[in-house]
Chains A and B, each alone.
Chain A
Amino acid sequence: MLAFLIRRIMIAIPVLLGILALTFILVHMLPGDPATVLLTPEELQGDPDIIERRRAELGLDRPLPVQYVAWLGELMDGNLGQSFHRKVPVTEMIGPRVMPTLILSGTGMVIALLVGVPVGVAAALRQNTKFDYTSGVGSMLAVSIPTFFQGLIAIYIFSIWLGWLPSGGMRTLGISASGADLMKHLILPAGVLSAVLMGPYVRYTRQSLLDVLRLDHVTTAKAKGVPYWGVVTKHALRNSLIPLTTVLAVQIPALLAGTVIIEFVFSWPGMGRLVIEGINSRDYPVILAVVMITAVLVLAFNFLADVTAAILDPRIRL
């Protein structure tokens, strides 16, 4: 296990540095000279040399690799840069947006798992029946209809037509925040997000269970008279769910992409909406910080998933 951990960490480190390097390249592609961004027009007018001095002060006259290392140092201190637009540290802008996004994506993922995995299991156990085909076409539909279109349809049906649920925001203005109110606002966005995620869960669970059901130990269990449900739950299902831990981690970028669009459609005050606001106000450092945080998160989750899978399935450790 220790050897596996070390090997896995040796893979993760260059990937992490690569993620950061790519982010750094993106920072340099940004339009606008960081040296002038934080200066007032008066300062720029009054002193022609100020830009040069400013560049030296910020270290922008040094070679790129040196700047990269310096930038890494800044990251270690938790400095993700300054917002172009609001002139405050980026971390201050991201902070309050983390919780809403966690609530939304967490709920969406839990719903998707609670529905997707059982449906996938049922589809595998009834392979080539009507149920199997219906769930297959259903999950295909869910990944083929654009997320924003699903959102618009949900608003049209449940907010406009039926009037049951609010069409956007996280809480009703004017009344004090309560769990029930949050729930009402959460149902539509989390529902759409779970629909997006569910398709792959159904497909992977189904395929994985079908693969395991074909294995010899399942045949043996059947042959020695283990009851059907015992075979399914004890011998097949447990094994077939191991790959799902990895699928969950690998799906995180998709989850985030879905969250960006859903937060936009439902005016949900999370990180995704911050990204769109950042793009509209050309506030690139904010977007870049979100990109980097998510990339590092994806890496971390992939690592965790691999370790979990290795704990559950000793063969992977080899």
Chain B
Amino acid sequence: MIRDTGPGTGIDVDAVVEASIAAGEATIADLDTDEIVARPPRSPFRIAVHRFMKHRLALVSALVVALLGLMAVFAPIVAPADPNAVDLSSLRTAPSAGHLLGTDSAGRDVLSRIIYGARVSLTVGIAAAISAAGLGTVLGLIAGFTRGWVDTIIMRIVDIFLSFPSLIVILLLVAILGPSVSTIVVVIALFEWPTSCRIVRQMTLALREHDFVLAARASGSSNLRIMRRHILSGVMSPLTVVTTLLSAQAILLEAALSFLGLGVRQPQASWGGMLNEAQSITVLEGLPWLWLPPGIAIAATVLAINFIGDGLRDAFDPRQTR
């Protein structure tokens, strides 16, 4: 029970799983008593949505992320200037009416680069998290459903991957394979799937003992159908939480890679890459508009996503009644 925590991800596997298992039971119990009299019966999904809406921090965060997403999609319209337009006549100028956040060492508009940088961060965050969660879900379902030696092998592979310091291996692989958004996504997914695999496996182990699985089998459902139709739907809620938290993790990893000069290649704008320039004391001391905005952008995005994850966890957790 205790070892089921993903290193460094800050994802509490047990809490997620317990909450989700409890959610299924408690919502039914709730409906039996007062609720059914007081209001029309609501589905667990509706209850979760209702709880999430009450979580103010998560709601605001969802709004922030939605705005960021719109900003990234419509970057060409939103951005005041071309992010890659070099202007040698105005290098490192302070923020002004013409350049709201100033210009960088190549005379490029910092604000426009921040807006375009959202594209890289969000793409990596979403793509890596979904790939990692997808891989983890498939393996976790197989492990939990078949049990036996297949389970043992998959879980040992999980242990092996969790032992590696993912940042260093990712650094190494990106250095060998060459930095590009797709490489970064693949490599992050390759080393971040074990967390979701553990959660899905644990949920599957619990769910497969339920009577509805027995009923499905009795009525002739194949294993594949049971997994897809009955187990997967039960796994969905903790998986959503974990995928959310994984995307925050992936954004941080991409930022760290770009900061170390191994991420997205210049001139493409990325937040971590913009901070890469702040390594000299002169920039740090005299040109705060070069490094503060991208840093704040990363922190705000990751914070918002983490709050959404927290809100989702609470929404699926019946023990928390706020």
Residues of A within 8 A of B (CB): 11, 14-15, 18-19, 22, 26, 29-31, 128, 140-141, 143-149, 152-153, 155-156, 160, 167, 199-200, 203-204, 207, 242-243, 246-247, 250-254, 256-257, 260-261, 264-265, 275-276, 279-280, 282, 284, 287-288, 290-291, 294-296, 298-299, 302, 306, 309, 316
> Can you list, as one digit per residue, whether each of B265-301 has a CB less than 8 Å from chain A (1) or not (0)?
0000000100100110100110010010001001100
A143 to B298, CA, bound (A): 12
Instruction: Tell me if A257 and B260 are in contact (CB < 8 A).
Output: no
Residues of A within 8 A of B288 (CB): 156
Select from chain B the residue with minimum beta-carbon distance to A272.
B168
Given contacts A257-B8, A284-B176, A288-B172, list 16 more A-B pairs with CB under 8 A. A15-B163, A29-B173, A31-B176, A140-B303, A140-B307, A145-B302, A152-B284, A203-B10, A251-B7, A253-B163, A260-B168, A275-B171, A276-B260, A298-B164, A302-B163, A309-B2
A299 to B160, CA, bound (A): 9
> Can you list, as one digit per residue, whether each of B299-322 has a CB less than 8 Å from chain A (1) or not (0)?
100110011001000000000001
Bin chain B's interface residue count.
Answer: 35 or more
Given that A144-B248, A149-B275 are known contacts, is A275 also in contact with B168, CB under 8 Å in the complex? yes
Tell me, rounded to whole Å, the shortest Cβ–Cβ distance linking A128 to chain B: 8
Query: Of the candidates B12, B156, B256, which one forms a contact with A18 in the assembled complex, judged by CB atoms under 8 Å apart?
Result: B156
Query: Of the candidates B3, B156, B275, which one forms a contact with A148 in the assembled complex, judged by CB atoms under 8 Å apart?
Result: B275
Query: Of the candidates B8, B166, B302, which one forms a contact with A144 in the assembled complex, judged by CB atoms under 8 Å apart?
Result: B302
Given that A18-B157, A203-B10 are known contacts, is A26 also in contact with B163, CB under 8 Å in the complex? no
Instruction: Tell me if A251 and B159 are in contact (CB < 8 A).
Output: no
A298 to B15, CA, bound (A): 23
Given that A15-B159, A148-B259 are known contacts, is A155 also in contact with B168, CB under 8 Å in the complex? no
Select from chain A the residue with minimum beta-carbon distance to B302.
A144
The SS class assigned to the A binding surface is: helix
- Is B200 an interface residue, CB under 8 A from the partner? no
Query: Of the candidates B2, B8, B156, B176, which one forms a contact with A14 in the assembled complex, judged by CB atoms under 8 Å apart?
Result: B156
> In chain B between 145 and 179, which residues have their CB closer than 8 angstroms to a CB of chain A?
156-157, 159-160, 162-169, 171-173, 175-176
- Is B262 an interface residue, CB under 8 A from the partner? yes
Instruction: Tell me if A291 and B160 are in contact (CB < 8 A).
Output: no
Residues of B within 8 A of A29 (CB): 173, 176
A141 to B252, CA, bound (A): 13
> In chain B between 59 and 81, which residues have their CB closer than 8 angstroms to a CB of chain A?
none
Query: Of the candidates A19, A243, A298, which one forms a contact with B2 in the assembled complex, judged by CB atoms under 8 Å apart?
Result: A243
Which 6 A-B pairs rank lowest in CB-CB distance, beginning with the nearest?
A254-B8, A257-B167, A18-B160, A149-B295, A144-B303, A145-B299
Residues of A within 8 A of B295 (CB): 145-146, 149, 152-153
Given that A276-B260, A291-B165, A316-B2 are known contacts, is A251 also in contact with B8, CB under 8 Å in the complex? yes
- Is B255 an interface residue, CB under 8 A from the partner? yes
Instruction: Tell me if A257 and B176 are in contact (CB < 8 A).
Output: no
Instruction: Tell me if A144 and B160 are in contact (CB < 8 A).
Output: no
Residues of A within 8 A of B183 (CB): none
A175 to B168, CA, bound (A): 34
Instruction: Tell me if A160 and B285 are in contact (CB < 8 A).
Output: yes
- Is B90 an interface residue, CB under 8 A from the partner? no
- Is B84 an interface residue, CB under 8 A from the partner? no
Tell me, rounded to whole Å, the shortest Cβ–Cβ distance linking A124 to chain B: 14
Tell me, rounded to whole Å, the shortest Cβ–Cβ distance linking A200 to chain B: 5
